[in-house]
Structure 1
Amino acid sequence: MVSETISTNVEVTPMHILQTGLGFWSSKVLLTAVNFKLFTLLAQGHKTADELRTALNLQQRGLTDFLDALVAMNFLEREGNGARAQYFNTQESDTFLDKNKPSYVGGILEMANNRLYPFWSHLDEALQTGMPQNEVKSGGKSLFETLYDDEQKLEEFVAAMGGIQAGNFNAFASQFNFSGFETHCDVGGAGADLSIHIALHNPAVHSISWDLPRVAPIANRNIERFKVQDRVVTQSGDFFKDEFPKADIITMGNILHDWDLEQKKMLIQKAYKALSKGGALVAIENVIDDERRQNAFGLLMSLNMLIETHGGFDYTAADFTSWAKDAGFTRVDIMHLTGPSSAVIAYK
Structure 2
Amino acid sequence: MTDDVSPDHILQVGFGFWASKALLSAVELEVFSHLADGPRTGLGLQSAMGLHPRATYDFLDTLVALGLLQRDGAGESARYENTPSTARFLDKRSPQYIGGILEMANARLFRFWADLTPALKTGKPQNEIKANGASMFGELYADPARLEQFMDAMSGISLGNFTALAETFDFSSYRTLTDIGGATGQLSSIVAARHPHLQCRTCDLPVVQPIAERRLKERGLDGRVVAESLDFFTDEFPPADVITMGMILHDWNLENKKMLIAKAYRALPPGGALVAIENIIDDERRQNAFGLMMSLNMLIEFGEAFDFTGAQFSEWCQEAGFSRCEIIPLAGPASAAVAYK
Band of TM-score, shorter chain: over 0.9
Deviations 1:58-104 (A, max 9, x none): 21111110000000101101111111111110001001111111111
How many percent identity over aligned positions? 55
Aligned match for 1:270, one of 263, 266, 291? 263
Matched AA of 1:25? W
- Determine helix, strand or coil for the equivalent of 1:179: coil
Counterpart of 2:80 in structure 1 is 87
Which runs of 5 or more structure 1 residues have no equivalent in the other structure? Answer: 1-6
Distance 2:8 2:99 in 1: 28
1:221, CA displacement in angstroms?
2.7
Distance 2:251 2:323 in 1: 25
1:1-348 correspondence to structure 2 within 5 Å? 7=1, 9=2, 11-348=4-341
> Does 66-75 or 50-59 show the bigger shift?
50-59
1:119, CA displacement in angstroms?
0.4
1:241, CA displacement in angstroms?
0.7
Calculate the aligned-residue CA RMSD, in Å.
1.0
Distance 1:324 1:107 in 2: 33
Which runs of 5 or more structure 2 residues have no equivalent in the other structure? Answer: none
Distance 1:10 1:254 in 2: 45
- Determine helix, strand or coil for the equivalent of 2:237: coil
> Does 45-54 or 27-36 show the bigger shift?
45-54
Matched AA of 2:318? K
Q: How many pairs align?
A: 341
Q: TM-score, normalised by structure 1?
A: 0.96
Q: TM-score, normalised by structure 2?
A: 0.98
1:11, CA displacement in angstroms?
1.1
Distance 2:147 2:69 in 1: 30
1:225, CA displacement in angstroms?
2.3
Distance 1:228 1:330 in 2: 34
Distance 2:154 2:279 in 1: 13
- Determine helix, strand or coil for the equivalent of 1:213: coil
Deviations 1:103-160 (A, max 9, x none): 1111110100001111000000001110000111123311110111123321221011
